[in-house]
Structure 1
């Protein structure tokens, strides 16, 4: 008599697409640096009351820092030449003044990071989840975040 043994079923592969109807997060990944009065500081070291410099060089008082762990499908990784990758939440609004923005809009533009995904330099997802840090200000602030432009709306 011959017996045939079947292998156990494979686990479903994790997709990089978010669940339908899920809210996409904003915020910055660990080790992303922000320009403060005391120099460039990683977001995980910032505290309420720190003075942060915006793109124009104006000071803004940081009102709070929230952190949240999110699924890897909601994370955008931006690869940059000569620098560590920039990790942001999918709904984080970033400024773009590269050739793509010039071709599409004729000027610099701001849009959520998820809409910038091109599959090569800007990718959605990472194998594990990520800790995102959400900065809170009284007014809308345009920050220089590790060499990229990020727009942070006023806290509600």
Structure 2
């Protein structure tokens, strides 16, 4: 029996604090809440998900490479603050064949000017931002359609 395609869900620094971290910006959902909803939706879409979070840039890069070598269908990446600073993540995305979809709970373009630059977005296939936790769901739907 063949396995369903896998979508990696990668979340970066400080996303482990969702639910308590600036809820006026990021909402009250925890990352576990979001992952649970994604798992339910993935079942409906016929894909598997592999959810991971790290506060370390190198771990995110390693996981992007792992997604590539595992033949993942796509990666949803919320790189958190690394979005605006990490050329290394940008280069990792450019070096793999797996489509990467950028995800943000808030809309960086409506926030501080330093958040308007997205090195992730420059390399990503698509992006979803500003819809709160629903950004992840919209991105998963897009990934399933790839």
Shorter-chain TM-score above 0.5: no
In proportion to residue count, which structure has more strand?
1
Larger Cα Rg: Structure 1 or Structure 2? 1
Instruction: Return the TM-score normalized by structure 2.
Output: 0.25
Q: Which has the higher helix share?
A: 2
